[in-house]
């Protein structure tokens, strides 16, 4: 893979970021993850717009225009030369002596391009994911793609330690999302997913499904549901840039019905829809 930091392209192991970067001292910044298919970034514009919104919400000024950022991303993809890749980029509030108040220094953009490990998701596609339920201990601005991911990484590890694949966040009895993907359930041929408010990240894969499910004759409803509803669902699946659409086959040791391998399952049809796009 390749990197970009402090205004130039670098090797991924080059020590280019000083100790006093607010991204790693405070988690003071925002980020995005984009999937590259066949050398082309998928839904790039939507990711750029969300990045811009995330930055604005925390009063963080971009150090360049979105057009310039797009050109940088495209150049990085070309330089890296991978056809299947992940582009990660983040904006830190800057490199400056540690002080809680916002400093008056330029923000700092860094980026990586790495090849995608397709094997990583094969197991989930084949067997589905096993999930644990955890309390959503995150803050009330989950729509901001903030660098602060402690609850997410902590709960992901907790799931793995318990022999599961990932964790589903539950806030006051309501299912919100997973540690790095959104969640939906299918009941009587209708998809239900948590409304796009401040309790979830407004996922771009989720939005793709909301905008395209009608192509397979399916309706999507943005409605909250309880963790109990997962056990009664016909299908449960996750949505995310890297994991795409993955079936959930077990929640806390209870199997979910999901007949995801059957071609008529909605999960399978949505996977095909995303693949085609």
- The contact set with ligand PDD (CB under 6 A) reads 33, 152, 177, 180-182, 201, 203-206, 239-242
Nearer to ligand PDD, 152 or 258 (CB): 152
Q: Which of 40, 120, 125, 145 is catalytic?
A: 145
Helix (H) or strand (E) holding 160: helix 150-161
The answer to whether the CB of 267 falls within 8 A of the CB of 237 is yes
Say how far residue 88 (Cα) sits from the centre of its chain: 11
Smallest separation, CB 96 to ligand PDD (Å): 26
Smallest separation, CB 241 to ligand PDD (Å): 3
Q: Extract the tokens encoding 211.
A: 């905008």
The sign of the dihedral angle between the CA atoms of 235, 239, 244, 248 is: negative
Nearer to ligand PDD, 17 or 196 (CB): 196
Nearer to ligand PDD, 95 or 147 (CB): 147
Neighbours of 244 (CB within 10 A): 21
The verdict on whether 145 is a catalytic residue reads yes
Smallest separation, CB 245 to ligand PDD (Å): 10
Report the C-alpha gap between 77 and 152 in whole angstroms.
28
Report the C-alpha gap between 49 and 40 in whole angstroms.
17
Smallest separation, CB 274 to ligand PDD (Å): 11
Smallest separation, CB 110 to ligand PDD (Å): 15
Nearer to ligand PDD, 171 or 206 (CB): 206
Give me the half-sphere count of Cα atoms (radius 13 Å) on the Cβ side of residue 137.
13
Determine the 3-state secondary structure of 145 from DSSP.
coil
Nearer to ligand PDD, 112 or 180 (CB): 180
Nearer to ligand PDD, 183 or 251 (CB): 183
Q: What is the DSSP string of 33-79?
A: EEEEETTEETTHHHHHHHHHHHHHHTT---SS-HHHHHHHHHHHHHH
- The secondary structure of the chain in percent helix, strand, coil, rounded to multiples of 5, reads 30, 30, 40
Determine the 3-state secondary structure of 118 from DSSP.
coil
Count each helix (H run) and each strand (E run) in the chain, helices first: 8, 15
Smallest separation, CB 244 to ligand PDD (Å): 9
Catalytically active residues are 145
């Amino acid at each position: 893979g390749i990197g970009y930091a402090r205004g130039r392209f670098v090797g991924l192991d080059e020590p280019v970021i000083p100790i006093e970067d607010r991204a790693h001292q405070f988690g003071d910044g925002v980020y995005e993850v984009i999937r590259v298919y066949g050398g082309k970034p998928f839904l790039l514009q939507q990711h750029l717009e969300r990045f811009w919104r995330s930055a604005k919400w925390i009063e963080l000024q971009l150090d360049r225009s979105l057009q310039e950022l797009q050109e940088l991303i495209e150049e990085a993809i070309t330089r890296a030369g991978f056809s299947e890749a992940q582009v990660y980029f983040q904006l830190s509030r800057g490199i400056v002596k540690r002080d809680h108040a916002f400093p008056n220094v330029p923000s700092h953009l860094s980026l990586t391009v790495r090849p995608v490990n397709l094997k990583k998701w094969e197991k989930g596609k084949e067997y589905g994911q096993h999930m644990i339920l955890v309390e959503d201990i995150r803050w009330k601005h989950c729509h901001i793609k903030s660098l602060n991911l402690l609850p997410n990484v902590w709960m992901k590890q907790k799931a793995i330690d318990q022999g599961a694949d990932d964790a589903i966040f539950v806030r006051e009895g309501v299912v919100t999302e997973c540690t790095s993907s959104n969640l939906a359930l299918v009941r009587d041929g209708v998809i239900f997913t948590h409304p796009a408010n401040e309790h979830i990240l407004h996922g771009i894969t989720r939005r793709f499904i909301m905008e395209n499910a009608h192509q397979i004759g399916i309706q999507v409803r943005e409605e909250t549901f309880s963790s109990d509803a997962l056990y009664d669902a016909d299908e449960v699946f996750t949505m995310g840039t890297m994991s795409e659409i993955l079936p959930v086959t077990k929640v806390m040791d209870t199997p979910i019905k999901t007949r995801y391998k059957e071609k008529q399952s909605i999960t399978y049809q949505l996977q095909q829809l995303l693949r085609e796009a």
